[in-house]
Amino acid sequence: MVTNLLTDYWPILVLLLVSLGFAGIAMGGGLLLGPRRSSARKQEAYESGMRAIGPGTRQMPVRFYLVAVLFILFDIEVIFFLPWAVVFRQYYENGLGAFILLEMLVFIVILLVGYAYAWKKGALEWE
């Protein structure tokens, strides 16, 4: 399997190598060529050039968490679309187009209920 793994997924491998190489060149280049003059200001946490306000490890409000959970749930939902999309034509040609469409509709409608609820409840708002 490994051999066809290499042929099938070589773009990903190339991407991996390029990104690793880029990061290595950038960091290594800076390390080799750049001057090193440390000062107290430079030791602060990097905040896009602004002066840092407080430590970088403040607690975050629970709203982030809610958004992240909703993101995961819809993420999982979307995952199911992929195998559906790639077999849709096959089902359609077998005369089962309505069947598979209905199947996905039921799935989406159930989750749409959740979406409508989240929306109405204001879970998507950032008060």
Partner 1 sequence: MQPELIVFFVLGTVAVGSAIGMLLSRNAVYSALFLILNFATVAVFYLVLGAPFIAMVQVTVYAGAIMVLFLFVIMLLGAEHLERRTGADWQKPIAALLGVVLLVEAGYVLLSESVSLPGINVPAADYGAPVAIGELLFSEYLLPFEVTSVLLLAAMVGAIVITRRDAPRRKKR
Partner 2 sequence: MPIISSTDLLAILPTAFVVVWACTLLLVDVFAGAGGKRLTPWLAALGLLAALVLSVRGGGLEQTAFNGMLEVDGFSHAINALVLGSGLLAVLLSVDYLRQHGIAKGEYYVMLLFSISGVMLMGAAADLIVVFLSIELLSIPLYILAAFAQPDPKSEEAGLKYFLLGAFAGAFLLYGVALVYGATASTRLSEITAAVAAGLENPIFLLLGAALILIGFGFKVAAAPFHMWTPDVYEGAPTPVTAFMAVGAKVGGFAALLRVFIVAFPSLGADLAPVLIGVVAATLIIGNVAAIAQNNIKRLLAYSSISHAGFILMAFVPYADDAVYRDTLAAALFYLLAFAVTSFGSWAVVMALEKAEGKGLELQDYAGLFRRHPGLAVAMFVFMLSFIGVPPTLGFAGKFYLFRAVLEGGYVGLAVLGVLTSLVSAYYYLRVVVVMFMQDGKPQAQASPLLNLATAVTAVGTVALFFFSQPLLDWAAGAFLRLF
Distant-in-sequence, close-in-space partners of 108: CB < 8 Å, separation ≥ 6: 77
Give the containing element (helix H, strand E) for 28.
helix 2-33
Interface pattern 80-99 for partner 1 (x via CB under 8 A): x-xxx-xx--xx--------
Hey, what amino acid is at 65? Y
27 forms part of the interface with partner 1 (CB under 8 A): no
C-beta of 19 vs 90, nearer to partner 2 = 90
Instruction: Tell me which of partner 2, partner 1, none is bound by residue 27, counting a contact when its beta carbon lies within the kind-specific cut-off of 5 to 8 angstroms.
Output: none
Question: Which listed option, partner 2, partner 1, none, makes contact with residue 116 (CB within 5 to 8 Å by class)?
Answer: partner 2
Residue 48's φ and ψ, nearest 5 degrees, are: 55, 35
